[in-house]
Amino acid sequence: GAGVSQTPSNKVTEKGKYVELRCDPISGHTALYWYRQSLGQGPEFLIYFQGTGAADDSGLPNDRFFAVRPEGSVSTLKIQRTERGDSAVYLCASSSGPRTGELFFGEGSRLTVL
């Protein structure tokens, strides 16, 4: 596709369960970002990949959160032992590289933890 694709668009899960959110960036974009947006707030940075490696994971809130990008394209954000406070919209974005802040965002994955 032409844009950033995220699946699922909606995920409802129970407290304590494991969740995976997938992001398919724009073809050729080497930089990939995950952000989290809570209700009434702006997006918050979680992690940045340049190629296959996580160049900056300083925004991950704790060790229940992990992300991978094994082949430098698709990325998966993994959340273990979900908590109600993890409920948010998880946004993925990609760009041509680290020297630009012009990011192309997907529509997001809305996670609800009951």
Interface of this chain with another protein, residues 56 to 75, rule: CB under 8 A: 56, 58
The yes or no reply on residue 87 touching another protein (CB under 8 A) is no
At which residue do the structure tokens 């668009």 appear?
A: 9
CA angle 22, 103, 43 (to 5 degrees): 70
Least distance from C-beta 112 to another protein, angstroms? Answer: 15
Least distance from C-beta 4 to another protein, angstroms? Answer: 7
Measured in whole angstroms, how far is the alpha carbon of residue 88 from the centre of its chain? 11
The yes or no reply on residue 111 touching another protein (CB under 8 A) is no
For residue 15, the 8-state DSSP code is T
Query: Binding segment for another protein among 11-19, 53-61, 63-71, 76-84 (CB under 8 A)?
Result: 53-61
Query: What type of residue sits at position 76?
Result: T
